[in-house]
Amino acid sequence: MNSPVRASAPSVWSTRLRANWLPIALLVAILVVVVLAVPSFFQSANLLNVGRQSAIVGVIAIGMTFVILTGGIDLSVGSILALSGVTTAMLINSGMTIGLAAFLALLVGVALGVLNGLGVAVLKIQPFIMTLATMVAIQGLSLRVTDGGPQQFDNSNSFFTVMGSGNVLGVPGPFLIFLVISVLGVLVLRYLPFGRFVYAIGGSLEAARLSGVRTGRTVVLAYAVSGLCAALAGVMTASRLGVGDPIAGSLSNLDAITAVVIGGTSLMGGIGGAVGTVFGALMLAVLSNLMNLIGISPFDQQIVKGAVIVIAVLIAAETTRRRFRTRRPDATRVPATATHAPLDPTLTSSAR
């Protein structure tokens, strides 16, 4: 009890591994079952397919992770996805270059995210309600500008096609985008003060305020990130389908939330991260792919998926509980005299 710190402090990496072991373990477990039961899963064509399938929900889920970490939720991502795709298609049809059209579609996503954020941070509307309202309204907007019909556009630009369906060096384009966004998400959460503030706000809004965090700005930015990711997923979807579909991605908000939660991020905010979300999204894609390979009917697939969500969340809750029940090297059991030695005098060194 003499040394306040344990002799061998655990490394950052081992701590991170422990924090994320649940989604990783689940993924590995599923893969092991697969090796034994469905060898065809590991054919490269199928693996690439899984990557492709995980990409769009994965990109949305990374953005969603930011919002959920603040203790919020973003239900409007599916609608933003659709509007972004529609925007891209219609701007291309109006004669704009594909790059500019896609860029403007992303800006639309950011703007709608800012709107969500302002509603939550400034008007103090509950995130669920605010984004429910924008979800409905944005959906309506997409239907209105398209008259309800999918917008075909010239999708012959090879670079653009890669975003939705093509391959780069044999790897599906959308999966590459997902990976890039994931890495960015991890880096932002870890290496930018903004990322630290997101966790702080999810931990305690009042403590964050008293620590000098600009809470309003941070919340708005988190929703903007979510809007941007959703819009990017919309551009990818448009590229893949070759149309801007006003009803595309209508359930992708729930898929994205599922990926985040399976990835171990707490809906209460402050706990979790983007690494878990990546595994969560991959796990969902692997699960659907497997069930397709085995030949489980789509109806039964939904039932299985529901069960997997419950199991994953139960395990996640247990992991968190364990992490918070580390043994306490508590001073209460130490005789008071043992702690009375003077503090390290180096405390003064900075002042002298």
Q: Specify the residue, 210 or 310, whose C-beta has the smaller distance to other proteins.
A: 210
Q: Which of 36, 45, 147, 206 binds other proteins (CB under 8 A)?
A: 206
Q: Specify the residue, 295 or 325, whose C-beta has the smaller distance to other proteins.
A: 325
Burial of 53 (0-12, 13-18, 19+ CB in 10 A): buried
Q: What mask, x for binding other proteins by CB under 8 A, covers residues 6 to 25?
A: x--xx-x--x----------
Q: Specify the residue, 151 or 277, whose C-beta has the smaller distance to other proteins.
A: 277
Q: Specify the residue, 11 or 44, whose C-beta has the smaller distance to other proteins.
A: 11
DSSP per-residue codes, 85-122: HHHHHHHHHTT--HHHHHHHHHHHHHHHHHHHHHHHHT
User: CB 268 → other proteins: shortest distance, Å?
Assistant: 9
| Those residues with Cβ within 8 angstroms of residue 162's Cβ, 6 or more apart along the chain or in another chain | 168, 173, 239
User: CB 12 → other proteins: shortest distance, Å?
Assistant: 7
Binders of other proteins among residues 322 to 351 (CB under 8 A) are 323-332, 334, 336-340, 342-344, 346-348, 351
Nearest to 146 by CA among 75, 82, 67: 82
User: CB 240 → other proteins: shortest distance, Å?
Assistant: 36
- In 10 A of CB 233, how many CB atoms? 34
Residue carrying structure tokens 């002042």: 351
Q: Which tokens go with 185?
A: 């998400």
Nearest to 266 by CA among 232, 222, 316: 316
- Which stretch, 90-98, 108-116, 243-251, 318-326, contacts other proteins (CB under 8 A)? 318-326
Within the chain, strands assigned E span: 151-152, 167-168, 171-172, 243-244
Computed from CA positions of residues 145, 119, 216, 79, in that sequence, does the dihedral angle turn out positive or negative? negative
8 Å CB contact between 20 and 283: no
Q: Binding to other proteins by residue 196, rule CB under 8 A?
A: yes
Q: Binding to other proteins by residue 44, rule CB under 8 A?
A: no
User: CB 43 → other proteins: shortest distance, Å?
Assistant: 40
- Which stretch, 86-94, 175-183, 184-192, 241-249, contacts other proteins (CB under 8 A)? 184-192
Binding site for other proteins (CB under 8 A): 4-6, 9-10, 12, 15, 190-193, 195-197, 199-200, 202-204, 206-214, 270-271, 323-332, 334, 336-340, 342-344, 346-348, 351
